[in-house]
Structure 1
């Protein structure tokens, strides 16, 4: 959360010797521009506004990672064989276990919200209608039937079930903000693709009157570390821990998947 300094005239008599009201005045001219006399210096209102903007910009810059590199020792959990399409809940199981929560991928599989709208295909095999991953997991996570994914909001609800009031949604935040969270000691579930590159399997279907356009080659992993050139991921599908991926390559895939990221505080 960003904050900024506000200018207030102090009218408390006990502090008047430090900030005499006589040193502060606001003047307006006929061109509707104002100025403030502060400590025998005159500032226009625009100049004061610019100072506020500069403070806010400095705080955005200061939101960059506090450390040049970080690595969290998050225990790896594999999604297979039980959850063929369960990369999101398996990734979250890793994160919650790191937070000290006693849970498992199967517990989260049973608990996560689900969108039960059935898959309807055309005679050619094209998807016509299906669920909305923003509402809950779409399809069958076990792989006995077709399954797809779940997005950030149901995952946030699931984190709050296990850690009440502690869920953090970093979706649509700058990637530096995500890295800052890792720097502070919190692993993050992030959405990418199976090979951490740009998605190349576009698809779309209707959910009620809503048209959902999303790539099929979607994947979720745990961001556990970074350095100046790379990010490090626990991948529940490949079963590899601290996989090293080029930072810029990963950021491109992450942004293509709508910059989704969730964690806890």
Structure 2
């Protein structure tokens, strides 16, 4: 449609409006391009031209579209827009590829599926914004790799400490809550992880240091619990009333379980050390005194080899159980089979842990008789209702403690109170038997007293006498076996 303008010429309304519509569509495209990742500065020149074109309009269309050259302007805008889109698309795609490679380098070892997922994302991307988003996410992920690893490593350390704390019976809070936060952190996106990383790292590191301090202090406290409990047990063996000690230890255990700081554990440790020192002092007091168990008769043995039966009769009499040596022998029984030497040169004989070996009227030196050890004697004593507090392997110090507490002890030692090399033999049923014969003889005593330097024994052959602790321990060390009676 043509129209006259003041008699000065003709205007082509149809062409002008068409060009204006094309220009508006182009401007809308620029909006789309910016929304899809094209930077504002890349479109700034075109936007400036657009603004200038729209500054002067004639009947709803820009002035430049009423004169020749308007179509060429829009064509140029189209060409430049296409070039900007293509250039930026290539540039941002390259950036995404570089970011993918950078993330792969940062991660180090990763699965094929992980790498393929990124390649698939690049293949699916179609706009500069898509590629820019991938680039930014992957660059951020690469930055987060060492941060995430530090957090994971620290969290694993806290988890290990929490497990150790549980085994030690101490509190680890707030480890559970913090580990839950660390687990949730791993599920967050890159931006959220970056926002939370610094605080979480600081919290985990602080708790790690705190828990280590607790564990170190609690370890010392546990050692003191063991030492103090041992001291109390030893004191009890000496007949010392340990109820006060045990009550404080029990109270300390409650405080230990509730403690949250090294200072609280140290306070428990200090109290335990006081308890241990008090128990040790009381033990020292009783050890510095002479103690004799009253009510233990001296009984001489009736047969050449019935020393252990005589010693047992003495100890049983202390608690009002009167059993003769022959009665004990009868209930024990005897293995009267003769010894022999097997092809390997080993002495084979009966088992004194099961019965009496040989003839009670025989001799150890000529292999006609030996004796019995503690199990058959304990069996007979219990059968007669006697109270046996302990038996088997025990130290000389334990014997002293039991005697101080008022308990007679049947001890297996040597005849001459000296240590002798063992010449163990193999029983018929295949058990190695402690033995110093046939040259040296063993003997059994009832220990009834102890002083700071000596031990009082009832010897079924030589009577009652004191012997030095050094001699007692030398003779006892060949066997280290005894029976403690009530």
Q: Higher helix share goes to which structure? A: 2
Shift of 1:221: 0.2
**33 and 85 in structure 1: CA distance in 2 versus 1, 3 angstrom threshold:** farther
Is residue 59 from structure 1 mapped to residue 281 from structure 2 by the alignment? no
Shift of 1:203: 5.3
Structure 1 alignment gaps of length 5 or more: 1-5, 10-23, 37-41
Q: Higher strand share goes to which structure? A: 1
Shift of 1:35: 5.6
Paired residue secondary structure (1:135): coil
**100 and 135 in structure 1: CA distance in 2 versus 1, 3 angstrom threshold:** same
Q: Greater CA radius of gyration, 1 or 2?
A: 2
Partner of 1:92: 312
Deviations 1:167-211 (A, max 9, x none): 223432232222121111110000111111113673524424444
Contact 1:190–1:262, Cα closer than 8 Å, also in 2: yes
Paired residue secondary structure (1:26): coil
Relative contact order: is structure 1 or structure 2 higher (C-alpha 8 Å, sep ≥ 6)?
1
- Taking the aligned partners of 1:87 and 1:179, their CA distance within structure 2 comes to 21
Partner of 2:338: 119
**155 and 46 in structure 1: CA distance in 2 versus 1, 3 angstrom threshold:** farther
Q: Give the length in aligned residue pairs.
A: 232
**110 and 47 in structure 1: CA distance in 2 versus 1, 3 angstrom threshold:** same
- Taking the aligned partners of 1:35 and 1:119, their CA distance within structure 2 comes to 71
- Taking the aligned partners of 1:119 and 1:33, their CA distance within structure 2 comes to 70
Shift of 1:233: 0.3
Partner of 1:264: 485
**210 and 97 in structure 1: CA distance in 2 versus 1, 3 angstrom threshold:** closer
Partner of 2:453: 229
Paired residue secondary structure (1:171): strand
- Taking the aligned partners of 1:7 and 1:205, their CA distance within structure 2 comes to 45
- Taking the aligned partners of 1:231 and 1:33, their CA distance within structure 2 comes to 56
Paired residue secondary structure (1:195): coil
Contact 2:422–2:478, Cα closer than 8 Å, also in 1: no
- Taking the aligned partners of 1:95 and 1:247, their CA distance within structure 2 comes to 21
**226 and 191 in structure 1: CA distance in 2 versus 1, 3 angstrom threshold:** same
Say which is worse superposed, 147-156 or 85-94, in terms of deviation: 147-156
Is residue 140 from structure 1 mapped to residue 359 from structure 2 by the alignment? yes
1:103 to 309, 318, 323: 323
- What are the within-5 Å matches in structure 2 for residues 33-72 of structure 1? 44-62=214-232, 63=234, 65=238, 66=283, 67-68=286-287, 69-72=290-293
Contact 2:305–2:362, Cα closer than 8 Å, also in 1: yes
What RMSD, in angstroms, separates the aligned Cα atoms of the two structures?
Answer: 3.2
Partner of 2:389: 168
Partner of 1:153: 375
Partner of 1:20: none
**139 and 130 in structure 1: CA distance in 2 versus 1, 3 angstrom threshold:** same
Contact 2:408–2:448, Cα closer than 8 Å, also in 1: yes
Output the TM-score relative to the length of structure 1.
0.75
Partner of 2:470: 248
